[in-house]
Amino acid sequence: MKSFSYLALLSAIAPCALAGSGVDGVDVLIDIIQPQNSYPQTSDKLVPIAKPAKDEYEYVIIGSGPGGAPLAANLAIAGHSVLLIDAGGDYGHLRERESPALANPSSERNEVSWGFFTHHYENKELELKDRKLTWLTPDGKFYSGVNPPEGSEVLGNFYPRYGGLGGCAEHNALVALLPSKNDWDHIKNVTGDASWDNTAMRKYFKKVETVQYPLPEGTEDSHGHDGYLKMSINPAGIPAQDIKLMSVFAGAAKAFGVDNSEITAAINDAVALAQENSVDYETGLLPLNMTTGMTDAMAKMLVWDINNDDPDRDTKRAFARLPQHMDSTNYRRSTPRDYVYDIATAKTSNGTRKYKLDVALHTLATKVLFDTTGRKPKAVGVDYLFGESLYRADPRANHTEDGGEPGTVRATKEVIVAGGAFNSPQLLKLSGVGPREELESFDIPVVLDLPGVGENLQDRLETSVNAEFPTNFTRILACYYLAADGDPCWAQYVDPENKDAAKGTYASNGVVMGSFFTSSFSEDGEHDLWIGGFPALFNGFYPGYSSNAATVANKNWWSWLVLKAHTRNNAGTVKLATTNPRDTPIITFHNAYEGQTKEEADKDVGALREGMRMAVSFFENIPAIDGAASVFWPPKEVRDDEAALDDWIVEEAWGHHASCSNKIGADDDKMAVLDSKFRVRGIDRLRVVDASAFPKIPGVFPVLPIMMMAEKATEDILATRKPGGGSCKPRKHKQHN
């Protein structure tokens, strides 16, 4: 097995113990609070840390991710007084957060990291087979791998989340794609609510988006042009300055069945041009003015707009560039956090605040409060604790002492829970809304027995195929990923004189395109596989993954990531570990064969196997430029043996799109937590608007669907407040208890 590349890498850059001889896991030992740079934020346009400014608001929204943040801004714009609560601070101008290329390091910044430890399986024997499983060592460090120091305890699989203003849209990979038709139509079908129809949902996408990338002629109307979310694509010149990088795409195209003759010819022309001009393209970047042939050929090859409204969009095999939530004026991440900042700080012409949006940071919601004197329980407020790093997914949190200053805030119209797929069910349960038996076992007074809370948890299954090349990717050669001072790639990125591709490596998330296709196991012909790649080593999440993925020293890796959409498994659970709101819940995905019948699991695993084989062939078809890729993960004996590869998938596959743990469902579905208007069933004035609301995990990437949901929820909430709208009575007839 080619594991020595890990050894070389890790001994070079990470303090690690290489216990045992046969290293076949990731084998990383690090401090819980990782050392990191301390660059100041690049701007002081930040929301100040503060607890709730008032005792009462019309709407109190818990969680400022892509679900909660846009909803808060929208309701404030509609004239309401709104409190948006988040447990973290505002780090909207961290360098790692701004540059798309630094997304992974951003997910491990101590200030914003919420590192959960989840379980792929309840079966401990199977769990131990994961080569990146994380342990707590006796001296209080994280060890990930298969040779833990004596006396270590299993923690589980590291699952990065963002604890701060904006939620995971602040550290994700920026890929912003519509879900598939059937994802929306499924909600329409199960609830009978036609407003979820796929064609009707497009208006929310248009509302959110400001498209900045060139669209195929005549398709402008299917996109948005003045939403808060800037959508752009990587400047084509960025990859094109690296001949090897282009040859990787040419190989992928060929393997995928896309005509690569033009791009191959353009690569050859570029090599000839470089040689004529004595440009060393093997150890340096091609000048941008020598890339035009390749960028033209790439633009033709990747012309398909994957967010179009073509009837074949979800079924047509596509090799396409990837729209990202990124602002092309400076190639900075564009997110709901920026939207909230703008609305919370907007001023009228006379200098007073324009909107009634308060943002409470370092504020951990601990309980939703109910008035239970009426016919139905009614949400009336929220208890919170004010203080930094109170939640114990934060690496800096104190695990022995409970801190935090308690407080209460009232909501006169609604409470909206938007803490994400792990935290929303946890908070509902802590508040007495959830499965009776579980609540009673913790002596939590039951407000409503709602058995679906924390059930139906789903995730993508993802694996990667990693290779190394005999030579480096010149695109990343100069980059330190901020691991050292004076990073030339950062200087190039922030130089206002540099526009588009001239901004260099940090102006791109590195994932130039994606392959969308349908495995032979797809139920409905919609894409269930996606492959994208980047010049780094990525084989799943573990503490320290980001500093091992892209390093100062190693520049010759490529990883193809294989994502399996539309998983059939909905057996995941979020259960309370304790009644302390600072503690993380027990998250168990029950992946693959643990959560469904063998027949169904065979289909999920089989699809991923097809995807991995495709990724291997992407490597095998790279035109010979300067030495072939050598695939080392998974090792050859695993790749060449179907049963071994299937086992590998079961052992290794991870996810990072957790969803569906408070599902929207039908009136007669006992496990439905929400109705089609995001209302918690059986409770008044309480909704959930985040990734947990989906009944089925959407598309290949969830963030844009969640933002669309936030727009839909805005409309639903505003409609119920108008006389005759929705199911609520006009205000003046409202009963008082």
Ligand X SMILES: *[C@@H]1O[C@H](CO)[C@@H](O)[C@H](O)[C@H]1NC(C)=O
**Where do contacts with ligand X occur on this chain (CB under 6 A)?**
182, 185-186, 189, 283, 287, 289-290, 348, 350, 352, 398, 400-401, 471-472, 553, 555
Nearest to 479 by CA among 549, 561, 559: 549
Residue 543 interaction partner, one of ligand X, ligand FAD, none, beta carbon < 5-8 Å per kind:
none
Write each residue from 674 to 693 as x if it is in contact with ligand FAD (CB under 6 A), else as -, in one continuous string: ----------------xx--
By the rule CB under 6 A, 364 interacts with ligand FAD: yes
- Alpha-carbon span 130 to 357, nearest angstrom: 45
- Smallest gap, in angstroms, from Cβ of residue 472 to ligand X? 4
Neighbours of 288 (CB within 10 A): 17
Peptide linkage before 634 cis (omega within 30 of 0):
yes
189 contacts which partner out of ligand FAD, ligand X, none, CB within 5 to 8 A by kind?
A: ligand X
Q: Which of 704, 598, 702, 715 is nearest to 660 (CA)?
A: 702
Q: Which is nearer to ligand FAD, 201 or 625 (CB)?
A: 201
Helix (H) or strand (E) holding 332: strand 332-333
Question: Which amino acid, residue 292?
Answer: T
Give the residue among 364, 443, 439, 368 at the shortest CA–CA distance from 402: 364
Q: Which two tokens stand for residue 71?
A: 């909803």
* Angle, helices 261-276/243-256, rounded to nearest 10 degrees: 160
Report in angstroms how near the CB of residue 356 gets to ligand FAD at its nearest.
20
Q: Kindly state the smallest distance separating residue 645's Cβ from ligand FAD, in Å.
A: 25
- Picked from ligand X, ligand FAD, none, the partner binding residue 289 (CB below 5 to 8 A depending on kind) is ligand X
Q: What is the nearest approach in angstroms of ligand FAD to the Cβ of residue 65?
A: 2
Minimal distance, residue 273 CB to ligand X, in Å? 6
Ranked by CB distance to ligand FAD, the top (closest) residue is 65
Strands across the sheet containing 332-333: 209-211, 229-232, 324-327, 332-333
Q: Least separation, in Å, of the C-beta of 700 and ligand FAD?
A: 8
Least separation in angstroms between CB 246 and ligand FAD:
23
Residues 630 to 659 in contact with ligand FAD, rule: CB under 6 A: 656-657
The one-letter amino acid code at 92 reads G
Total Cβ atoms within 10 A of residue 492? 18
Minimum CB separation of residue 160 from ligand FAD in Å reads 5
Could you give the CA distance from residue 465 to residue 460 in angstroms, rounded to a whole number?
A: 17
Among ligand X, ligand FAD, none, residue 65 binds (CB under 5-8 Å by kind): ligand FAD
Residue 172 contacts ligand FAD per CB under 6 A: yes
Q: For the window 539-568, what string marks contact with ligand FAD as x by the rule CB under 6 A?
A: ------------------------------
Task: Kindly state the helix (H) or strand (E) to which residue 433 belongs, with its residue range.
Answer: strand 433-434
Q: Does 340 bind ligand FAD (CB under 6 A)?
A: no
- Positive or negative, the CA dihedral 147, 148, 154, 160 is negative
Running DSSP on this structure, what letter comes out for residue 119?
A: B
The pair of three-digit structure tokens given for residue 351, joined into one six-digit string: 């200098």
- Min. distance of Cβ 42 from ligand FAD in angstroms? 20
The pair of structure tokens assigned to 170 is 């602040």
| Residue 160 is a binding residue for ligand FAD (CB under 6 A) | yes
Does 156 contact ligand FAD by CB under 6 A?
Answer: no
Burial of residue 635, with CB atoms counted within 10 A of its CB: 0-12 exposed, 13-18 middle, 19 or more buried: middle
Question: Rounded CA gap, 71 and 6, in Å?
Answer: 44
Each residue 96-135 as x (binds ligand FAD by CB under 6 A) or -, in order, gives -----------x----------------------------
The listed partner (ligand FAD, ligand X, none) that binds 82, CB under 5 to 8 Å by sort, is none
Query: Is residue 465 involved in binding ligand FAD (CB under 6 A)?
Result: no
The residue ranges of DSSP E strands in 488-571, in sequence order, are 513-517, 529-534, 557-564
User: For residue 182, how many C-alpha atoms fall within 13 Å in the half-sphere facing its CB?
Assistant: 16
Bridge partners for 142 per DSSP:
30, 136
Provide the 8-state DSSP code for 296: H
Which position has the token pair 């407040």?
721
- State yes or no: residue 62 binds ligand FAD (CB under 6 A): yes
Does the protein bind ligand FAD through residue 305 (CB under 6 A)?
no
Q: How far apart are CA 622 and CA 474, in angstroms?
A: 17
Q: Please, what's the largest Cα pairwise distance for the chain?
A: 85
Assess 419 for contact with ligand FAD (CB under 6 A).
Answer: yes
For residues 703 and 336, the answer to whether their CB atoms sit within 8 Å is no
> Binder to ligand FAD among 30, 72, 83, 173 (CB under 6 A)?
173
Our CB check for ligand X shows the closer of 20 and 192 to be 192
The stretch near ligand FAD (CB under 6 A) out of 19-27, 85-93, 450-458, 680-688 is 85-93
CB of 62 to ligand X, least distance (A): 26
62's contact among ligand FAD, ligand X, none, with CB below 5 to 8 A by partner kind, is: ligand FAD
Q: How far apart are CA 509 and CA 97, in angstroms?
A: 11
Q: Which residues ranging from 694 to 713 are in contact with ligand FAD (CB under 6 A)?
A: 701-703, 706
Nearer to ligand X, 400 or 727 (CB): 400
Question: Minimum distance from CB of 351 to ligand FAD (Å)?
Answer: 30
Whether the Cβ atoms of residue 532 and residue 515 lie closer than 8 Å to each other: yes
CB closer to ligand FAD out of 281 and 589: 589
Read out DSSP for 690-733?
Answer: SGGG-SS--SS--HHHHHHHHHHHHHHHHHHTSTTSSSSPPGGG
Number of shown-chain residues binding ligand FAD (CB under 6 A): 41
Contact residue for ligand FAD among 423, 472, 508, 588 (CB under 6 A): 423
Q: 61, 397, 427, 565: which one contacts ligand FAD (CB under 6 A)?
A: 427
Provide, rounded to whole angstroms, the least separation between the CB of residue 118 and ligand X. Answer: 23
Nearer to ligand FAD by C-beta: 57 or 701? 701
Q: How many CB atoms lie within 10 A of CB 188?
A: 17
CB-wise, 95 or 566, nearer to ligand X? 566
Q: Between 419 and 698, whose beta carbon lies closer to ligand X?
A: 698
> CB 553 → ligand X: shortest distance, Å?
5
Contact 225, 241 (CB under 8 A): no
Nearer to ligand X (CB atom), residue 199 or residue 398: 398
User: What is the enclosing helix (H) or strand (E) of 156?
Assistant: strand 153-162
**Partner whose binding site includes residue 352, from ligand X, ligand FAD, none (CB under 5 to 8 Å by kind):** ligand X
CB 389 within 8 A of CB 397: yes
Contact 36, 547 (CB under 8 A): no
Stretch that binds ligand FAD, among 42-50, 60-68, 224-232, 591-599 (CB under 6 A): 60-68
The conformational region for residue 316 under phi > 0 = left, psi -120 to 50 = alpha, else beta, is beta
Backbone CA torsion sign across 60, 65, 71, 77? positive
From the CB of 350, what's the least distance to ligand X, in Å? 4
> Which does residue 25 touch among ligand X, ligand FAD, none (CB within 5 to 8 A, set by kind)?
none
Q: How big, in percent rounded to 5, are the helix, strand and coil portions of the chain? A: 30, 20, 50
**Residue 611 binds which one of ligand X, ligand FAD, none, with CB within 5 to 8 A depending on kind?**
none
Interface residue list for ligand FAD (CB under 6 A): 62-68, 85-88, 107, 160-164, 167-169, 171-175, 364-365, 418-421, 423, 427, 656-657, 690-691, 701-703, 706
